[in-house]
Amino acid sequence: MQPFTPRNTALLLIDHQVGTMQLIRNIDRNLAAKQAVDLAKMAKILGIPTILTASQEDRAQDPLLPELSSILPDAYAARIKRPGVVNAWAYPAFKAAVVATGKKNLIMAGVTTDVCLIFPAIDAAKEGFGVQAVIDTSGWQEQLFLNAPQALAGKRAPEQNQDRQRIEKLEQKIRQKDEVLAELMVEHVAPKEELGEL
């Protein structure tokens, strides 16, 4: 995998919707929302293409966080509206939008770690994309697991453990927001007023 830089990376924000944020139980929902918004700000500052997607905005999931529309208005207008497909990668319009960026490194954040984030991360990695799954922009519907890759494998029913090896391959790619920022900022120094409070 090549190092992640602003030139070879796209940001994917998956299902950071007002209603869906209520599913987060293991960390402060406001913190998870702030971290997702910070990633959007980072993408804007560094010129990283961003794909936003939401599932069933007209139902209990509600629209995407309103901050995303003000930070990334073009990405928000072009967001991929899924009709309930849980794995965003399995929805052809989402995958096509990602491929159209031409980027082989993907920073992914999904509102729930065990559903919105892990399934598209596994599928993208399986297809040869470099993936960094940002763990602190999402949450679990239960208590935080200290060792996410093993926890993800353990959450599956025994007959579903065929994904265990793929999850373990992601182990070195599960990051916190600040780790992602640090890696991307190696080549970019921005004035403090441009960065704001990330």
- Distance CA(116)–CA(87), nearest Å, equals 7
Scanning the structure block, which residue is given the tokens 């940002």? 134
Nearest CA among 33, 23, 89 for reference residue 61: 23
Scanning the structure block, which residue is given the tokens 């003000």? 70
Nearest CA among 23, 26, 6, 22 for reference residue 144: 26
| Residues with catalytic function | 116
Largest Cα separation within the chain, whole Å, is 52
Nearest CA among 1, 6, 9 for reference residue 103: 9
Helix ranges (DSSP H) in 66-170 = 66-71, 73-77, 92-100, 118-126, 148-155, 164-169
107 pairs with which residues across the strands?
11, 132
Burial class (CB in 10 A: 0-12, 13-18, 19+), 185: middle
